[in-house]
Structure 1
Amino acid sequence: MISKKDIRPELNLSSLTPDENFQNKVLRPILKLQHDILILTFKNWCVKQKVKLSDTKKDNFREFLDKSFSKNIVIRNLILGIIIGQFTSDEFLEYQKNASEYNRRIFTMAKQRLFDSFDEIKKDGNS
């Protein structure tokens, strides 16, 4: 039987602290695995919010991401669900020990991934 860990991309990153280790061994591979879902979820959320990204310049996109993640609980919970839903039971227990720090790391990495995917998000004309 294939496990959740088996389908994740393997990233060879060094870690100095337990938090970094969890980030590099669990969070980053899951974010990479879930990249397409993250993009589609964000695009769908923008459509529902009636946000016109076609008029947005990349310079303003980071500010939009920061504002969206800080003020909108819906997009925050969607992103967390996409990531946490890929945890194993042991990973979830580890996550619960320091959830606020791991959430901060998840949001930072997700925002960067979305920012780096600006052209992909903006295309297709549906947002």
Structure 2
Amino acid sequence: METNERMNPVRPQVVTDSTAVSTAEQFQNQTVRPLLKLLDGGIQTLWHHHWPKRKTPYDRFNNQEKIAYIERAVREDTRLRLTLLGMVLGHFTPDEWSTYKGEEAEITRRITTLLIQRLQSRI
């Protein structure tokens, strides 16, 4: 059984708009969103491990401050961003890697945005 066939049944189904125009948007909807849903527990665990190490009084922030801090931390803290991206990229199948390589900058931007949204949605 090929890797793609073994991996895809494990991923949760995510209903998205099927009128995606670009390759990057199709990849986001068919690959990235299900992976983020699958990895949600690990993403949240990593986040709760991150902010105490940075000596940030995150738990004392109000909701607006938390939302702003999450965005700033993911975009500016290279170690955090690359760890989160690595969690997602590590679950790509060989075919998905081929697609990713063709549109790496755009797909990486989309993954980062979705990671921020996922973390912010837990506030």
TM-score, normalised by the number of residues in structure 1 = 0.86
How many residue pairs are counted as aligned between the two chains? 118
What is the CA RMSD across the aligned residues, in angstroms? Answer: 1.4
Match of 1:16 in 2: 21
Match of 1:80 in 2: 85
Q: Distance in 2 between the 1:19 and 1:30 partners?
A: 15
Match of 1:122 in 2: none
Match of 1:70 in 2: 75
1:45 pairs with 2:47: no
Q: Distance in 2 between the 1:11 and 1:63 partners?
A: 27
From 4, 7, 11, the counterpart of 2:10: 7
TM-score, normalised by the number of residues in structure 2 = 0.89
The amino acid of 2:11's aligned partner reads R
1:90 pairs with 2:95: yes
Gaps of 5+ in 1: 119-127
Q: Distance in 2 between the 1:20 and 1:9 partners?
A: 18
Question: Following TM superposition, where does structure 1 have runs of at least 4 consecutive aligned residues deviating by more than 3 angstroms?
Answer: none
Give the deviation of 1:70 after TM superposition: 2.2
Q: Distance in 2 between the 1:11 and 1:51 partners?
A: 34
Q: Distance in 1 between the 2:96 and 2:6 partners?
A: 13
Give the deviation of 1:10 after TM superposition: 1.2
Match of 1:56 in 2: 61
Q: Distance in 2 between the 1:71 and 1:56 partners?
A: 19
Gaps of 5+ in 2: none
User: SS of the residue aligned with 1:9?
Assistant: coil
